[in-house]
Structure formats: structure tokens, C-alpha cells
Amino acid sequence: MPRAHVILDKQAVIAPVRRRTFGSFVEHLGRCVYTGIYEPGHPSANDDGFRMDVVELVRELGTRTIRYPGGNFVSGFRWEDSVGPREKRPVRRDLAWHSLESNQVGLDEFARWLGLTDSEMMVAVNLGTRGILPALDLLEYANHPSGTALSDLRVANGTPEPHNIRMWCLGNEMDGPWQTGYMTADDYGKLAARTAGAMKMADKDLELVVCGSSNSGMPTFGDWERTVLEHAYDHVDYVSCHAYYQEHDGDLGSFLASAIDMDYFIDTVVATADHVGYKKRSSKKINISFDEWNVWYQKEHEASDEVNDEWRHAPRQLEDVYSVADAVVVGNLLMTLLKHSDRVTSASLAQLVNVIAPIMTEPGGPAWRQTIFHPFSITSRLAAGEVIRAVVEAPTYATARHGEASVVDATATVDEDRAAVFLVNRELTETTQVTVDVRGLGSSRILEALTLADKDAYAKNTLTEQNRVTPHPNASATLSDGLLSIELPPVSWTAISLG
């Protein structure tokens, strides 16, 4: 049996736990909105048409910030289409996902939905096919109390109180050729700087997110961030990161070590942002909004006929069904975000419902939890106080994509009266015995120990078997004389709460 040892000390503080780390993403794509969060006529629908069974699952998931309305969708979006009387809203073509958008859910309705889920809204503005003035108009409509043309329009539309949206994304993935209106780093940096400057003239306390690279494999990665921030550094607060992972060619070992790439991505972007700050002699630090991350089987979708010559309303697109291995990777990626809480202060699991999502629905039928739902909801519930650095001593193994990887990864959080330890076992076939030295935490008892694992690493939850994979209590966990001992099954994610 492989063995690993983890040392925890509550003095080794990285940063506070950021509640915005537990964010998600709703894009007008596929069935995320229509028959996802919104389905008038469903047995659980409220007067606004929102599925309350989905609301309950979102509350259980523990999301705090929801990015909206895109995504690639935003680069062709006219926000004016989505407000006012529903019967007068136009149907538009969405070029990003080759579908039709009815605009039956818009800014005001979505804000009411957020109130049901106790989440805040992060809005993306269209800098692909629009620019400064529409962004300012949207800001006025959303946030100004009343007494101006657009704020009074919001009041007339039935929303007397301003939405008070604090976080705003300046476009989406503007480095990507797939993006409607994509640009060079120089052109985008100038537009983002001008837009950010104008928006902060309206409200100096806005938190603005400038687009970073769409992924760390982009040919302009690093240089894109440098160029954009040289223009926009003084006006923005965040630079975005986006990353999706999947298993390639049956290489499960590399897939389970995907967090190594995320770690590299974050460190590189932080170093680049700080380099620009040093050049500008600025004391300001740019943080990271990792506002798209997940497991996504992109190659399989690219090879399918999901996007075709038909123009359809809410077609089934990107509906990945997730396995145990996928959930272990998602749990490990969330652990990595926590480890970087000093600079990653906002993140969004993409997406929330049906589209590469932790929650699935069937039109007219049930809603259920995918495997990836569980590590996110448990971490959101248990992580509190401060993130502390874990020292991990464990065997390593060679991966084709990420070099040497530790068999065990760990992180922990500490609050006044409790602690939480999160562990991943990347071993493919063997149980790993782990001891965790918690004497530095002052913990004296185990409150709960939950492990997500299965004899079949590719087991999934489906419409016909919605609870095939769920976390189970780990009876091997013991705590004696400040040493926590636990057995981690192969390909598993574990959370332990200590009192």
C-alpha cells in the first residue's frame, strides 16, 4: 500500500477563503437557460418560470457568484433585447453557438433568479461587436437608482431597485478566432482600457475583469496578458483565466494530474501581471478571476453534429455526462484554486446547468446531481476561515502531459472552531494510506469524513440512475494524538471536517 504524509500548521496561512471562489456560470447556450433554470409549465416552476427544483440544487451546490450571459454568446448580444415586455422581445440569431435566442430570460429576470439562489451577478459586456457606449448604457440601466432615461426604464420594467452589479467582464476570450469580433492584444487592450476608464467614471468602485488568454495553450499566451495589461493595468482589477481539461487517448494518469497545469497557468499569469506592475512602478496588484474552468470533452463535441445548419431554440449542446474520474479532477482543480487564494479571488465553474454542468435536467422531468456536483458542494460547505499551506510527502509517478506528479495532493482550511482537509488520491489501482499531522491545528475530533470513489472510475450519474455515484463516509478515518490517519481508495477525492 502506498503511503503519504501531510503536515498542516495553522500559522502557514496563504490567504482567507474567498467565497467568490465558489462561483459558476450561466450562458445562453444549449439548455443552460431554457429547460435548465427556466421552464414555464414545469411542475416546480414559480411565477417567473424558474424551476425551483434547480434552485434548490444550486443552493445546495453553494454558488456565490454567477457569470452571465456569456461566454461566446456575449460577443453578439444586444442587452436591450433582453429587457421590457417579454412579448415584444425580438428573436435573434446567436452566431457563437448557431442557435436562436428568444430573449425570454434577460437581465431583470436573471437578477430575480439570483435572489432565489443567494448569489451575486457578474456581467460580461459585449466588446466583440459593440463597445463603450452600450457598456455604459447597460451599467446605467442596471445600477443607477433612478432619475435617468435608462434607470427609469428599468423601474418602468418592474425593477424599482438597482441591481448593484459590482463585477464586470470586459468582453470574453477576445484572443480566440472563434470569438465574434476577436482582436489582437494591442487592439483589445486599448478598447478595454477605454471602456474600463469610462465605466469607472460612472462608478469608481466597480470591479473590472480584463480578458486574459483563452487557455494556456494559445500561441499568444503570456504575451497577450502583458500587452493587454500594459494598456489597461491602471483601470482594471482582475485578469481572467480560462481552462478546460479532459482525458486524452486513455491516459487517465495525466488527466488526474490536470491541476499541475492549472497551477502553472496561475503562476505564469501572476508573474506576467506583476511584471507589468513593476514596469509601471505601481503598488497595485492585479488579481485573477478564473471565470471558466471545468472538465469538458471538447474533441467529442467538435466531432458531433450538435452545431449544424439548422437554427434551433435551445438545442442539446455540450451535455457531458461526468464520471468519478472527472469528479476527482474537478475536486482537485478546486483545491488548486484555494491554494492560490492570495491572487485567485474569484472563479466560475463553467457552466451551471446541462451545459458541461454539475446539474442536469430533463424537460418536464427531474433535475439531478452529476458526479462533479459533490466535490464542489462539499468544499463550498466546509471551506472557511483561512487557506493554509499543506506540506505533502508522497510517492510520485510519471505523466505524459505534466511530468512527475504526486500520488496524493492536499490542501486545508482553518476557521476559529473547525478545520477542513481535502485530499486526492491519483493512484490508479491501489489504496493509499495517508497520515495528516494536525497537531498544529489543535483539532481533537473528526466531525465527518467523506470520500467520492467507485470500483469503476468511469461510473456516472444518469437520468435512469441519478444516484449511482455519491460521496460515502470513510470509516477508516481515525484521529489520535494529533495524527489523522485515513485510507484513500484509488482515483478518489476526500473531504474531512475536524473540530
CB 492 within 8 A of CB 452: yes
Q: Of the residues 101, 140, 247, 292, which is catalytic?
A: 292
pLDDT digits (tens, 9 = 90+) for 81-139: 999 999 999 999 999 999 999 999 999 999 999 999 999 999 999 999 999 999 999 99
Choosing from 27, 80, 173, 427, the catalytic residue is: 173
Secondary element (H or E) of residue 391: strand 386-393
CA–CA gap between residue 399 and residue 406 (Å, rounded): 10
CA gap 127, 125 in Å, rounded: 6
Residues 6+ apart with CB under 8 A from 283: none
Choose among 348, 289, 333, 318: nearest CA to 67: 348
Q: Taking residues 337-363, what's their average pLDDT? A: 98
pLDDT of 303 > 90? The answer is: no
pLDDT for 409: 98
- In single-letter form, the type of residue at position 376 comes to F
Is pLDDT at 254 greater than 90 in this prediction? yes
State mean pLDDT over 203-212: 98
pTM value?
Answer: 0.97
Instruction: Kindly report, residue by residue over 475-490, the tens digit of the pLDDT.
Output: 999 999 999 999 999 9
Residue 204's pLDDT band (boundaries 50, 70, 90)?
Answer: very high
pLDDT at 147 over 90: yes
Name residues whose C-beta falls within 8 Å of residue 102's C-beta, 6 or more positions apart in sequence: 34, 89, 91, 313
Residue 176 has pLDDT above 90, yes or no: yes
pLDDT value of position 396:
97
Active-site annotation holds for 207: no
Position 302 scores a pLDDT of: 85
Task: Answer whether residue 308 shows pLDDT above 90.
Answer: no
CA distance 337 to 340: 5
Nearest to 331 by CA among 491, 478, 120, 490: 491
DSSP 50: B
Q: State residue 352's pLDDT score.
A: 98
d(CA 357, CA 26): 10
> 1 CB contacts (<8 Å, ≥6 apart)?
430, 431, 432, 433, 487
Grid coordinates given for 87: 412579448
- Predicted local confidence at residue 307, as pLDDT: 81
**What does pLDDT average to over the chain?**
97
Distances (CA, A) of 201 to 82, 165, 196, 204: 25, 16, 9, 6
Verify whether residue 173 is a known catalytic residue.
yes
Q: Which three cell numbers stand for residue 265?
A: 497557468
**pLDDT above 90: residue 72:** yes
Q: Residue 55 — pLDDT band, cuts 50, 70, 90?
A: very high
Average pLDDT over every residue of 416-438:
97
